[in-house]
Structure 1
Amino acid sequence: MTTPSSIALAGFVTWALLVVLMELVRTRLVLTGRVSPAGFVPDNANLSPFMQRLARAYANCVENIPILGGLLLVAIVTGRAPVTDPLACVLLGARVVQSSIHLVSVSPPMVTARFAAFAVQLGIGLYWAWKLLFTAGA
């Protein structure tokens, strides 16, 4: 059954496909001879600031899938999606906002906004963990 939690989980994992954008840019750099195929480092430190931010945004998505996605998965497989459903799309929205801001700018106001989006995700995750661990039923 499709629930807000299952949609958010699928969206959260799909959003991590930011790696496709990174690989498209890397492919273009190789095909134009600007970087050798073996010339890439995981954090894109030898590339543009945008590519460095893209690598970090991608890594941050992947780092958080086991935690926040895991909570969604626990709720779904245990039949407790009513715990996560109300905030599932908020979580996904905050993730998209955080990554998007990361790609756009590292100015102090944008870093603050990015942290706020991350804080929303952490708050939701803590709330879900509490509800899933310490409340009975859905």
Structure 2
Amino acid sequence: MPLSPSAIALLGLVALPLILVLLMVNQRGLLVLGGRMKVNAFAPDGSNTPSGFGQRLVRAHANCLENLPMQAAVLLYAIASGQTAITDPLACVLLGARLFQAAIHLISTSPLFVWLRFAGFLVQLLVLAWWLLKLAALV
């Protein structure tokens, strides 16, 4: 049985933070094994890694986890209640916007990239708001 777009989006939203944490483990492991940092020297926010990438990676991961509960809840509700006809049309848009936001997070914190990141976040919020209105039969 093929996965619905809603199920694909849900799995993608769960896979993204897993991929980011694996990148974090890889980056930190290479620093430790290369003798550039001690295993117990990492700041929780990634601020003391040799490049700004470590801090951006930690923040991108945290941001994915901060938003996952509301995104997953709406998609799970639609799947469980048989209402994926509401979420399917925009499910890949939501996932794409989440991937875009995470990628931009990793690339830069320049003002342009912060605006682009916000645009990706705004798309996600609008999709979720639309789904909630439709699922509550308010539209």
Give me the TM-score of the superposition, normalised by structure 1. 0.93
Could you list the per-position Cα deviations for residues 57-80 of structure 1 after superposition, in whole angstroms to 9, with x for gaps in the alignment? 000011111011111111001111
Return the alpha-carbon distance in structure 2 between the equivalents of residues 5 and 37 of structure 1: 40
Residue 131 (structure 1) shift? 1.5
Residue 135 of structure 1: how far off its partner (Å): 4.9
Runs of 4+ that moved beyond 3 A: none
Q: Give the C-alpha shift of residue 40 in structure 1.
A: 1.6
Match 1:76 to one of 72, 79, 82: 79
What do you get for the CA RMSD once the two structures are aligned? 1.4
How far 1:45 moved relative to its partner?
1.6
1:39 and 2:44 matched: no
Instruction: Quote the residue 2:102 is aligned against.
Output: 99
Partner of 1:24: 26
Q: Would you say how many aligned residue pairs link Structure 1 and Structure 2? A: 136
Gaps of 5+ in 2: none
The aligned amino acid for 1:45 is: S
Q: Which amino acid aligns with 2:5?
A: P
Cα offset, 1:133, TM superposition: 2.2
Q: Which runs of 5+ in 1 are unaligned?
A: none
In structure 1, the partner of 2:14 is: 13
Residue deviations 1:72-131 (CA, integer Å, cap 9, x gap): 111001111111000000000000100101111111111111100100001101111111
Residue aligned with 1:16, SS: helix
Aligned residue identity for 1:35: M
The residue matched to 2:113 in structure 1 has which SS? helix
Partner Cα separation in structure 2 for residue 10 and residue 135 of structure 1 = 27
When normalised by structure 2's length, the TM-score is: 0.93
From 111, 114, 123, the equivalent of 1:120 is 123
Q: What is the aligned partner in structure 2 of residue 85 from structure 1? A: 88
